[in-house]
A and B are shown apart, each in its own frame.
Chain A
């Protein structure tokens, strides 16, 4: 700072010397006049005294004169100090590159490779959302051509984590059905795989909510400069910050047109106004603006100023996000980089400067079109474009609809999760003003499916059940089971609305969603429990410390007597679950949840067996992720990597897993959850997809039908859905009648792997008699095949029990022999 001030004073002194030198030089040139003129001040003062002729003045003036001199000097010093201060201010801010660039957040890149099953239309959708335009021959970056059984893409330059991919052409070949990629070639080279870059969909805004994308001079199209200069400041390249001629010309033009068509401020003044000053309109502010404009011109080249202007200019509002600079403006309005815009689109942007909100092409397309055409007309008048060109350009549409509209899709709910994850590792100011690039796990195709499904399903449920329109809310999250990557998140039914995020913040009782963990607690003791173990679905009263005795009921109010463990979960019997939970022990259950990294907000009571535990959607997802991942815990994540503003790798979130349960125990509970879908409370899902896909899940309904839940997974994705009301009033909806439908509709739209039965090496399928829980021969009509850990199969019986009678199996096959052999193993297991 001190150095800067000293430097400024030095500059100021140089300026003074320069003025003094120039004066004396001129005087030297004028020769003898110099002598004569040098006496002028004395003559003038003498004359003044003589003219006033006042004795009072002649006595007072000599005393006043030094004071006046001091006053003038003081005033001069203050003036100089003010100018110096302004000079310091403008240079410090200008050269410091002090724009707060928020962290920019990108969707996941799309891997395209031979063998990938993906509809060509999906790749075209992805390209559309990235702002790629169809053009014959794909002649330039940002274009593609779909022809001859494939797509030729001229990919843009993109900074990936490991490398800068230069703009390049690639050909993606499809099978005749256009459902699978058969070749990926670049020029003549066969590629293993190719990545389509992610899309910038949001930013982690600073408090000011200013957002911008910085451009370099080389990235600015000539057409933008031409349009901007012609409409805003025709003399920009010749004036020195302020332009009296420009003011006059603008006044004349406005008079002729009868309305304000041109402003008198130069681009430099506008830059000063936007960059350094407030919006107030006072004379002092105007004076400061003029001085600063001149100082800026004194220090910096026209191109430097133009670049600053282009990066600084305000171009409107997107929610609470202020769009600054033509770079982001272009992305936001047209869905493409500035370099890819045509002359008409550049003219639209240039025209917006005068009134970013008034001429916003999204909100006021007619005004924007008129303004754009005026810009083009001015350019025509100045001979910058021909009459024909102007005519053609004026006929073009604004170009802000269609794919550009899809490009503007932002996912504020997902951004909340990104912020939450990054705040653990990065300071707030690094996120809000350092221009970081955040590469996330968001899959826009799946995200859009979730949002559309929620919107249509809730409307349909409200209509069919005569629920007041708009009263239901929903929240959903989809993750990849292998890595815990969150691929979609919807915090409510209003898409794109940044508000209450029900996935992260709504804490609601989860109902039967916790039951699989009660049963898992049992199955982790294979010497005591297997899927065929009988448990009592009978009334039970539980004493709870600090509260009244608790007597749970089944949903239908009935008791079912002795049922197998798998049937109890399949049909979500409350009484059987509580009986089982009490047998397993509350502590064991509580420790299991802790092992799965769930930190309970409140002490766990026996009512927790039936889900009287409030959780967020993401907490449920976190618990279920470990079930879907064979007992291997992996943290949920929304960010893959973070790069600096210049593209340098800063941090990565590598895959990390921890084993919290034995894969065998998990395989048992997952088998039971597959039965829930096939034949239990979520059988509608089973009926829709067929048993071969093997999806697993669990419905959940809280007391009084206030919360409808479904958590389920395929071989690749886990999705958790909640439906309810924000005011916590009953909806009359169970997990199966609302949340499960949203799950099912979404999964039907996304490509996901089936969930294969995961019998591990030390597991075997055993025939069970559900009435006794004992092994029977596979040929018995009531036999049920269930997986068991080898060594823990139940005791066998040699005959079938049908309707209370014993029936011998005539064909004593090998499975029977195996069953008998298992008794010894089973006993061995007990005494281990």
Chain B
């Protein structure tokens, strides 16, 4: 290969890689802008009246989390979210939205919704996450195992079984699904800090982004 060809080859390679990164930058800038517009114009997409929340309404920061009780990453992120909520009890309001990806997701969401009627939502969520490796193994899901442990949450199991049949729960899941599409949620957990998506999938970045808003 002569020098002229080498120049053609490497300048082409460099320009194409450059185009890739310029396009990436351009796309991300535009995406952030449109998310900011959405956060201002359509705040109801982030928080619906039916959504479970933790923390005061007057909180400066609203942290929206789209989660799936059967998702391992949601489980892994949960302790960090809890730590953040303990650190900023008056400044952060956590809003839980559902995104059902797995086989038993909707079933467990129904249990969570039923738990809200006994004000045991967070306790049941904690139990579900803690024992998730047992009941939510994707190769061998055994949802019955979860029932064994649910008593640990302090919830009334018989009442849970009745309340989880409420047809209104399907509407909640449906609305959350629609909003997740509007918000471009393509995985769980997905966080929005005052409407702005989490910059990087990292618990430290989550904490930093919350602090920036305080």
Question: Do the two shown chains form a genuine complex with each other?
Answer: no
A residues in contact (CB < 8 Å) with B: none
